[in-house]
Amino acid sequence: MTPIDTANAPAAIGPYSQAMRIGDLLFVSGQLPIDPATGEFASADALGQMRQCLKNIAAIAEAAGTDLSRTVKTTILLSDLSGFAELNEEYGKAFQAPFPARACYEVSALPKGALVEIEAVIGC
């Protein structure tokens, strides 16, 4: 296993790696909408937070020598599913067919009060 770490995505806020590569797969930890340049949320709204989560995943994938086009599976955690249609449209802009497998859940709370968190499995 090889840990992946990049300054172009937020540092882990606990005892975990940004991502771990094993074989031809990259397992990206749940990414919060933190702008790595400021250490703050990139946006106060869920749509902007989703964009930043995806940017963070893309930066980690790049650090591992791959990219979002090789995403196999994502898991999206939302604090409120009521805006799902708008978020789903934004998510769709990050990927092309065939789209990755995906799960999406509403949760009661996310770290640091985030509205969105996304994790991914990406082929290398």
Query: Which pLDDT score is estimated for 2?
Result: 97
Model's pTM, two decimal places? 0.96
Confidence band of 94 (pLDDT split at 50, 70, 90): very high
Question: Mean pLDDT for the chain?
Answer: 96
Query: Which pLDDT score is estimated for 113?
Result: 96
CA dist., res. 70 & res. 61, Å (int):
9
> Average pLDDT for residues 112-123, to the nearest whole number?
97
The residues annotated with a catalytic role in the active site are 104
> Average pLDDT for residues 85-113, to the nearest whole number?
95
> Average pLDDT for residues 58-82, to the nearest whole number?
97
Query: Which pLDDT score is estimated for 13?
Result: 83
123 CB burial (10 A radius; 0-12, 13-18, 19+): middle
